[in-house]
Structure 1
Amino acid sequence: MKISAAYRLRDLSVAIVDDHALVLEGFKSLLNKHGVNDVVTFSKAAELMDILPAHGFDIYIVDIGMPDVNGFVLIDAIRERYADARIIVNTIHEEIWLIRRMLDRGVNAILYKTTDFSRVIEAIVTVLNGERYFCPEYRKTLKRLDIGNDIPSLREIEVLRDIARGYTSKEIASHLFVSENTVESHRKSLFSKLKARNIADLVMKAVAMGYIMPSDYTDE
């Protein structure tokens, strides 16, 4: 794949955010081999956020599962400072609701950590050419999203989590600062979208489809 004439790999600056040293070193080594010398690694998301006001990068490769700062908070911080930032998410997460959040934030590329390391170069070239890049493994997951309005909204996911925790509509309304009628509307929508017969069936299907995880409503 050829890169746009407006860019050359050796001229790029790349920020990599991941809490695993092997991942950071692996990406940096790969990029160096392809002529990218300006590579800065961060083991904490907060470290990158601290320098954003004074220093931007051509490419950001971020893990949304950082322990210190939520990855979506980091993405929002980058976008707030640099609206046209090219952001590549490198993640282990394949849950549908998380993927939806990535897409809603307009990330430029998504790589799974199970994907061949070398695909990061392919992703970089693709986004520099003004296109979005999804690794082959992600495309398989993407097909599960191609179900139109049957995907719960982000607000419905929040309601879903509280339902799974055993909260009443009144408690959910208080928690989310909405009316009980709004919560009841979300409940009906969730039962319809997931084709659930009762709350137990709703929660079971939500977990199976990746909308919520057991840890969202248990002490595990």
Structure 2
Amino acid sequence: MNTIKVLIADDHSIVMEGLQVVLSAEEELEVVGTVLNGEEVMIFVAKHEVDVVVLDINMPVMDGITCARKLKKEYPNIKIIILTMYAQRSFVDEIVKIGIDGCLLKNNTGKELTTAIFRVMNGSQYYDRLKNFNSSEEEIKQYKLSARELDVIKLVAEGLTSQEIADQLFISELTVQTHRRNVMRKLDLKNSMQVVQFAKDNELI
């Protein structure tokens, strides 16, 4: 019996190493590669045989959702399982529309990821945890985003600089920068681009 060839994409080395250990313990699974972003995924699958790609949503260069769209268009036979640390019901419709085969919360990975891989390879989907996902209003409460922070995110998405946002909201540039840092900390994101993408995915702006 041929092994299932799995590619893992996650920019957190600890997470990636942990997943590799768990999956490598299964005789039927073979981790054929680990990469740090969606762009590296596309390069890898062009050169190697891959059955399943396990994608983190938030990655630099090319995020998981963008990568999934490209994979489904260019390599429709490859199965895709998305990993996210956010219980966001609002992005589920989008990933189902793309045709992503499964979605897991990162705190449920491990043995559950193995189960998900076997299921999607059998032609089914894996969305077992959707009942644990939150609505958009619950997400705002969960991450404790203030109305002012949402205003700042919206203006960042419009391409305004911190000074321009400060002028529009009648606050200091330092206050705007503080709001931006606080949002990234609350959402555990690394830059404004990821914050804007998160807000769009969850219909917060």
Q: What TM-score comes out, normalization by structure 2 length?
A: 0.62
Q: Could you tell me which residue of structure 1 aligns to residue 46 of structure 2?
A: 53
Q: After the TM superposition, which residues 48-87 of structure 1 pair with which residues of structure 2 at under 5 Å, given as runs?
A: 48-87=41-80
Q: Contact between 1:115 and 1:135, CA under 8 Å: does it hold in 2? A: no
Matches of 1:57 and 1:75, distance apart in 2: 14
Residue type of the partner of 2:53?
Y
Q: Please tell me the root mean square deviation across aligned C-alpha atoms, in Å.
A: 2.9
Matches of 1:96 and 1:38, distance apart in 2: 29
2:14 aligns with one of 6, 22, 27? 22
Q: CA deviation at 1:27?
A: 0.9
Q: Percent identity?
A: 23
Matches of 2:133 and 2:80, distance apart in 1: 20
Q: Deviations over 1:187-215 (max 9, x none)?
A: xxxxxxxxxxxxxxxxxxxx9xx531xxx
Residue type of the partner of 1:37?
E
Q: Could you tell me which residue of structure 1 aligns to residue 118 of structure 2?
A: 125
Q: Deviations over 1:9-45 (max 9, x none)?
A: x611110000111111111111111122343111222
Distance 1:94 1:57, change over 3 A: same
Q: What TM-score comes out, normalization by structure 1 length?
A: 0.58
SS in structure 2 of the partner of residue 37 of structure 1:
strand
Q: CA deviation at 1:117?
A: 1.9
Q: Deviations over 1:162-211 (max 9, x none)?
A: xx65xxxxxxxxxxxxxxxxxxxxxxxxxxxxxxxxxxxxxxxxx9xx53
Comparing 47-56 and 11-20, the one that deviates more: 47-56
2:26 aligns with one of 34, 43, 63? 34
Runs of 4+ more than 2 Å apart? 36-39, 51-56, 93-97, 138-142
Q: Contact between 2:8 and 2:31, CA under 8 Å: does it hold in 1? A: no
Distance 1:101 1:69, change over 3 A: same
Matches of 1:12 and 1:116, distance apart in 2: 18
Q: Contact between 2:10 and 2:37, CA under 8 Å: does it hold in 1? A: yes
Matches of 1:114 and 1:135, distance apart in 2: 14
Count of residue pairs brought into register by the alignment? 147
Q: Could you tell me which residue of structure 1 aligns to residue 148 of structure 2?
A: none
Q: Could you tell me which residue of structure 1 aligns to residue 3 of structure 2?
A: 11
Structure 2 unpaired stretches of 5+: 137-150, 156-198
Q: Deviations over 1:137-172 (max 9, x none)?
A: x23328x69xxxxxxxxxxxxxxx9xx65xxxxxxx
